[in-house]
Structure 1
Amino acid sequence: MFNFLRPGRSAARPDAAALSREIAAGRLVLIDVREVAEAQASGLAEGARLIPLSLLPLKCDPRQPGCELPQGVPVAVYCAAGGRSGMAADTLRRMGYAEVTNLGGLGDWAAAGGKVVPFTR
């Protein structure tokens, strides 16, 4: 659907400007799957929601009450380097999210010109 989202993991960088517009418009959900301490130390991609990988099944399963992730909206995930976000993308797909993209790491986001903001609860 969104040609600026890359399927799987590749050498291409995400189009941070296009992603930021989609996030701001509510047409894309960006999830940081790192741990809280990592987000506190290095910040978050602007517009991202922090949901650590270990909490995805609790917070994002549409079959569970209190699911924090809307259905039918594309999802992009990132972590520190891309490994955990790959696992998160697989987990979300198994839960029924059709459009899930692994952006890699926070460094990939920043290198593509994406803004990184301090983490606040």
Structure 2
Amino acid sequence: MLNFFKSAPRLTAAEAVSRAGAGKLTLIDVREPGELAATGRAQGALHVPLMVLRMKCDPASPECLPELSTDKPVAVYCASGGRSQMAAQVLTSLGYREVHNIGGLFDWQAAGGAISR
């Protein structure tokens, strides 16, 4: 069983912006489609809603996104950090070695991260 009260390692949003910009980090937005339509998403982020995360990120699944690798660091975010914490734990359980919860989209934007609409 997952322990949703245990925190994932956390990068600062500024560190995430820098590492994602250098191609050293895969960024995943776990919000719902309507949220993306309303606010946009972090530039370069993959959109994988929390409800389909296990299917789309499990290396054993035929639906796994080809952009993902368990060996490359991953950072997840949502609106405020709650869903991204759950997502971080799911990814860790799937074998991703370095997973970070960077909080919410606002944290990314406040650190100078670009938004795509």
Q: TM-score, normalised by structure 1?
A: 0.81
- 2:64 aligned residue (46, 49, 67): 67
Where structure 2 has 5 or more consecutive residues not aligned to the other structure, the ranges are: 1-7
Q: Does 1:104 align with 2:90?
A: no
Indicate the residue corresponding to 2:54 in structure 1: 57
Contact 2:69-2:96 within 8 A present in 1 as well: no
**1:44 corresponds to 2:41:** yes
Residue 34 of structure 1 contacts residue 79 of structure 1 at CA under 8 Å; is this kept in 2? yes
Distance 1:36 1:65, change over 3 A: same
TM-score (norm 2): 0.84
Residue 114 of structure 2 aligns with an amino acid whose one-letter code is K
Q: Give the 3 Å change call, closer, same or farther, for CA 64–41 of structure 1 in structure 2.
A: same
In structure 1, stretches of 5+ residues that fail to align are: 1-5
How far did 1:63 drift? 1.3
Count of aligned positions: 108
Q: Secondary structure at the match of 1:14?
A: helix
| Mapping for residues 1-121 of structure 1, pairs under 5 Å | 7-8=9-10, 12-22=12-22, 25=23, 27-68=24-65, 69-118=68-117
CA shift for structure 1 position 7: 1.9
Partner of 1:3: none
Matched AA of 2:93: R
1-side partners of 2:13 and 2:37: how far apart? 24
Q: Is the 8 A contact 2:17 2:108 kept in 1?
A: no
Distance change in 2, residues 1:114/1:71 (3 Å): same
